[in-house]
């Protein structure tokens, strides 16, 4: 796909570095990014009320359906005041960066309410996607994340699918699409609720229950 004003190459390290300043300006304006991850293309932005509202409006997200946070360092979790219990820290040490999403407690007065699930937890994943890691570190904080697709349509696996579905937002510069090429089919991340006394699998995914139980034997649920 030929580069367009709001579609920028985001594949090689050189392309990523060339795009960083423009991406950061887009984030600072409270607008939404579409970006490649280790699984599918995602939508996201900065972790503040204005940026989250922009994401809600673009996605048409129903109340009660939260977004997750992508991080690239443990310090980002600490700064948001999120709690890593001893078993959550064990899972993070073994499987991060990687396809494991942990739902954490804490973050009061630091994390917008729309990022919390029905039970109050905040979903976090340390992405292993190298280009996305570089962007998050340059941004200096987490990015929100949700799949880049309309209801009933499979998550996008390539940038041109996003442009086709969200042409108006791209043309009006509300959405900046980072083109990281076509992604390979892969399993979603495993999601583990870490807000209770015991870890609980709430979505099976790439990491199996057997692998998780090697580190936390009292895990509840299958994956």
Helices (H), 13-158: 13-28, 49-59, 74-79, 86-95, 130-139
CA dihedral sign, ordered 66, 69, 74, 75: negative
What is the tens place of the pLDDT at every residue in 83-141? 999 999 999 999 999 999 999 999 988 899 889 988 889 999 999 999 999 999 999 99
SS3 169: helix
Per-residue confidence band for 223, with pLDDT thresholds at 50, 70 and 90: low
**Tokens 């979790």 identify what position?**
77
Q: What angle do CA 156, 46, 5 make, to 5 degrees?
A: 55
What is the tens place of the pLDDT at every residue in 127-177? 999 999 999 999 999 999 999 998 888 999 999 999 999 999 999 999 999
What is the tens place of the pLDDT at every residue in 50-78? 999 999 999 887 777 889 999 999 999 99
Burial class (CB in 10 A: 0-12, 13-18, 19+), 186: middle
Among 33, 37, 38, 13, residue whose Cα is nearest residue 23: 33
Task: Give the pair of three-digit tokens for residue 100.
Answer: 């494991």
Contact 125, 70 (CB under 8 A): yes
Q: Rounded mean pLDDT of the chain?
A: 92
For the segment 183-208, the average pLDDT, to the nearest whole number, is: 93
pLDDT the model gives residue 119: 81
Task: Give the pair of three-digit tokens for residue 167.
Answer: 């042409």
> Where is pLDDT greater, at 14 or 109?
14
**Tokens 């009292």 identify what position?**
218
**Tokens 């985001």 identify what position?**
10
List, in order, residues 6 or more apart from 172 with CB less than 8 Å away.
Answer: none
Contact 199, 90 (CB under 8 A): no
pTM of the model: 0.93
Contact 36, 181 (CB under 8 A): yes
């Amino acid at each position: 796909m030929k580069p367009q004003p709001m579609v920028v190459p985001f594949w090689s390290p050189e392309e990523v570095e060339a795009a960083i300043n423009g991406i950061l300006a887009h984030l600072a304006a409270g607008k939404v990014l579409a970006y490649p991850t280790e699984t599918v293309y995602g939508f996201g932005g900065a972790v503040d009320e204005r940026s989250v509202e922009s994401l809600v409006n673009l996605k048409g997200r129903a109340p009660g359906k939260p977004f997750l946070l992508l991080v690239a360092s443990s310090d980002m979790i600490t700064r948001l005041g999120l709690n890593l219990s001893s078993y959550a820290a064990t899972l993070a040490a073994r499987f991060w960066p990687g396809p494991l999403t942990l739902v954490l407690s804490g973050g009061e007065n630091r994390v917008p309410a729309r990022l919390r699930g029905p039970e109050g937890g905040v979903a976090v994943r340390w992405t292993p996607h190298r280009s996305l890691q570089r962007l998050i570190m340059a941004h200096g904080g987490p990015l929100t994340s949700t799949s880049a697709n309309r209801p009933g349509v499979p998550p996008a696996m390539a940038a041109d699918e996003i442009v086709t579905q969200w042409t108006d937002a791209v043309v009006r510069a509300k959405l900046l699409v980072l083109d990281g090429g076509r992604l390979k089919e892969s399993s979603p991340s495993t999601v583990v609720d870490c807000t209770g006394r015991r870890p609980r699998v709430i979505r099976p995914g790439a990491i199996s229950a057997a692998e998780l139980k090697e580190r936390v034997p009292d895990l509840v649920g299958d994956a």
